[in-house]
Amino acid sequence: MLLSFSWTKFFYSPLGDGGMSVKVISPATVANVVCGFDILGFALNEPCDELTLEISDEPGIHIINNDEYNLPTEAEKNVSGAALLALLEETADVKGFTLISKKNIKPGSGIGSSAASAAGAVVAANHLLNNRYRKEDLVRFAMFGEKVASGVKHADNIAPCIYGGVTLIRSIFPLDIVPIDAPPLHVTVVHPQIEVRTADARQILKHQVLLKDAIKQWGNIAGLVAGFIKGDYNLIGRSLEDYIIEPVRSILIPGFDEVKKRSKEAGALGGGISGSGPSIFMLSKDAATAMCVEAAMKEVFEQIGVAYHTYVTTINTEGVKIVTTD
């Protein structure tokens, strides 16, 4: 299939014209984090996308997809492309880029697939530009990719993808990103193979919430942030409650309540919907517990007959990583 594509030469020897290229791996991320809707996220050590980027003499963004997802190759409609176009707008001395993207994070999984594409592309570009941009700028560029993916310029996947670790987006306009220290945490993710579109998941939310629920929510986010920074696992667990979003969105995910219940029985500190779903994540204090949680998740989806994929991983503290430079 790829052989019929006019960029084939780039696929086989894509950046072999003497220009400098860079390869990055760009991690999956968990956004929202239960009580941190729209403001909190963290990066995972797996899965990761692989992106290879080269500065091009041809104007615009040339995209080669080296995977099975048939994502758009027109820059304006492609998540990485839109992010790179935003960067190009402010980069007068560069005409264009050539990008090869190999996605391992399935689009629509709820673990930041679009953020990995957008963030990976701009971090790679910045490396080729001798890191002339600050991380805040890269987040700003990458948010244009999120807009292509979901219609909303949110940063709660982008920021942890670029910064690594747990990040708070205190404010989106103006952008204010606060890295949050966290103790070692093991993350179990289950991705039921159903589709929940981010746009749909946003649409079912109520525009108004009860003040008394909002108070509980900000008590919990305050507790969660304190728990992360203090390294207080028990407080992290107690704070992982969502009174606003989860009750509405969880109905879109078959097995959600059972996964949550069984995961906690297996020893998870807590967890909930990853991003806008359908993936569900659970945090655990140690690897053995995270494996037990995985077993519990598998059992639930086996029982209800929904195909799934699981990851048992840890929090990625470095974000998008440069792996090779030619």
Contacts to its own copies by CB under 8 A: 35-40, 168-171, 176, 178, 180, 205-212, 214-226, 229-230, 235, 238-239, 244
Sorted by sequence, the CB contacts under 8 Å of residue 210 that are 6+ apart come out as none
Closest CA to 119 of 81, 158, 152: 158
Residue 243 tokens, joined: 């009174």
Strand, helix or coil for residue 215: helix
Q: Closest CB to its own copies among 43 and 123?
A: 43
Residue 42 and residue 27: Cα distance in Å, rounded?
10
Residue 109 and residue 93: Cα distance in Å, rounded?
37
Is 265 in contact with 296 (CB distance < 8 Å)?
A: yes
Q: The dihedral of CA 197, 199, 204, 209: what is its sign?
A: positive
- The nearest distance, CB 40 to its own copies, in angstroms, is 7
Measured CA to CA in angstroms, residue 111 lies from 31, 41, 92 at distances of 7, 10, 34
Tell me the residue type at 91. T
- The nearest distance, CB 61 to its own copies, in angstroms, is 32
- The nearest distance, CB 269 to its own copies, in angstroms, is 15
Q: What is the dihedral of CA 236, 198, 298, 32, to 10 degrees?
A: 0
Residue 106 and residue 90: Cα distance in Å, rounded?
30
Q: Which of 29, 52, 98, 146 is catalytic?
A: 146
- The nearest distance, CB 124 to its own copies, in angstroms, is 29
- The nearest distance, CB 36 to its own copies, in angstroms, is 7
Q: Closest CB to its own copies among 61 and 225?
A: 225
- The nearest distance, CB 8 to its own copies, in angstroms, is 46
Q: Closest CB to its own copies among 228 and 301?
A: 228
Q: Which of 91, 198, 289, 313 is catalytic?
A: 198
Q: Which residue has the tokens 């108070």?
A: 215
Q: Closest CB to its own copies among 202 and 321?
A: 202
Residue 260 and residue 273: Cα distance in Å, rounded?
10
Residue 51 tokens, joined: 């992106």
Residue 254 and residue 120: Cα distance in Å, rounded?
31
Q: Closest CB to its own copies among 96 and 271?
A: 271
Is 267 in contact with 160 (CB distance < 8 Å)?
A: no
Q: Closest CB to its own copies among 39 and 268?
A: 39
Q: Closest CB to its own copies among 80 and 239?
A: 239
Q: At what angle do helices 287-304 and 256-265 cross, to 10 degrees?
A: 150
Is 75 in contact with 86 (CB distance < 8 Å)?
A: no
146 counts as catalytic: yes
- The nearest distance, CB 289 to its own copies, in angstroms, is 23
Q: Point out the residues that are catalytic.
A: 146, 198
